[in-house]
Amino acid sequence: MGIKKKIFLGWIAFEAISLCIGLPAAAQIVDRVIFSAAPRAAHVVTPIAPGLTEIVVASNAPFTVLSQGAVGEMTMVLKVNGTINGTAFGAKAQHPGQISNCVLPTDATLTSLYTATRRTAANRGEVISQAVMILIKYDPDLTPSFAVKTLDAPEAKSAPAAMLCNSLAS
């Protein structure tokens, strides 16, 4: 066997041994380093009928649902899973936090209707599998605009919370 073949085989053996030692060390580094993504809340607002809007939200952080342009009673229902036009949502989602069934924005300016205490994503997966749906019912004569923002967004920090309907009786 020539010297070039011995050097080549020696190099290959060195690489194989280094790989066996290096992979576990690299795996520990990956386990110890925390990767964090910027807080995001992807959403789609769909007016279904006059007085009824559906918001599909997938987030990796707590979020708030904002309303603007409407004053009056609004009822809300949160669904963690289901189907939208035959497409399943929420298989890898979690309940983002308690929701009030009835809120009352008292001003047409930007108002927070709902604030989630945790993200919707429970496990990794497609965005639609991490999504939840919020149905909002309101006076059909109104045309409010809705948006979803993470809690670190300036709009979410400055928007006052809507009153709860049952707090009016007190």
DSSP-derived secondary structure for 42-72: EEEEEEEETTEEEEEEEESS-EEEEEES--S
Tokens encoding 31? 């386990």
Tokens encoding 60? 């990796």
pLDDT 10s digits, 154-165: 999 999 999 998
Q: Which of 3-12, 53-62, 77-86 has the lowest mean pLDDT?
A: 3-12
DSSP state of 153: S
pLDDT 10s digits, 127-144: 999 999 999 999 999 999
